[in-house]
C-alpha cells in the first residue's frame, strides 16, 4: 500500500511539473548541447529561443490584459511598454532584427524575455499555455 501511495504522489508531482512551463524550451536545451561552444551556433540557438520566448510573452500579455479589470488594463499596457523599452536599453538593441544581434545582445535579450515570460506566467496562475 505504501508503494502505491508513493507512486500516486510521484505521478501527481510529474503532472504538476509538466503543466508549469517555466524556463527554456526543450528545443533550446537540445540545440545548445549540439553546438558545443561555437559562437555562431550559440547565437542561432539563442535567436531561435528568443523567438519562442517572445511569442510566449505576447500570449501571456494578451491573457493578462484580457483578464484584467478596466482599471488594471492601463497599468498592464504601461508595464509591457516599459518592459520593452527597458529591454532595448539594457541589451543595447539598436537593431530590431534579431539575426543582426551579437551573441551578447541575443543572450541579454533572451534572459530578459525569459524572465518576463516566467513572471507573467506565474502571475497568470499558469492558465495560458496548456
| Residue 87 in domain | yes
Q: Count of domains in the chain? A: 1
Q: What is the rounded distance in angstroms from the CA atom of residue 58 to the CA atom of residue 1?
A: 46
Q: Considering the chain, what percentage of its residues have pLDDT values greater than 70?
A: 80
Q: What is the pLDDT of residues 38-65, one digit of tens each?
A: 999 999 999 999 999 999 999 999 999 9
Q: Which domain holds residue 103?
A: 23-124
Grid cell of 52 as nine digits: 519562442
Distance CA 44, CA 23 (A): 18
Residue 130 covered by a domain: no
CATH (domain of 81)? 1.20.1270
13: in domain: no
What region does 125 belong to: left with phi over 0, alpha with psi -120 to 50, or beta? left
Would you say residue 10 lies in a domain? no
pTM: 0.78
Amino acid at each position: 500500500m505504501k508503494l502505491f501511495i508513493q507512486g500516486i504522489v510521484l505521478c501527481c508531482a510529474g503532472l504538476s511539473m509538466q503543466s508549469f512551463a517555466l524556463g527554456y524550451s526543450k528545443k533550446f536545451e537540445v540545440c545548445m548541447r549540439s553546438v558545443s561552444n561555437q559562437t555562431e551556433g550559440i547565437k542561432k540557438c539563442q535567436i531561435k529561443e528568443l523567438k519562442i520566448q517572445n511569442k510566449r510573452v505576447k500570449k501571456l500579455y494578451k491573457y493578462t490584459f484580457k483578464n484584467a479589470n478596466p482599471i488594471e488594463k492601463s497599468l498592464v499596457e504601461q508595464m509591457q511598454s516599459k518592459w520593452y523599452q527597458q529591454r532595448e536599453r539594457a541589451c543595447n538593441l539598436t537593431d530590431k532584427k534579431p539575426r543582426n544581434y551579437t551573441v551578447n545582445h541575443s543572450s541579454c535579450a533572451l534572459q530578459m524575455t525569459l524572465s518576463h515570460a516566467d513572471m507573467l506566467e506565474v502571475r497568470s496562475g499558469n492558465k495560458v499555455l496548456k
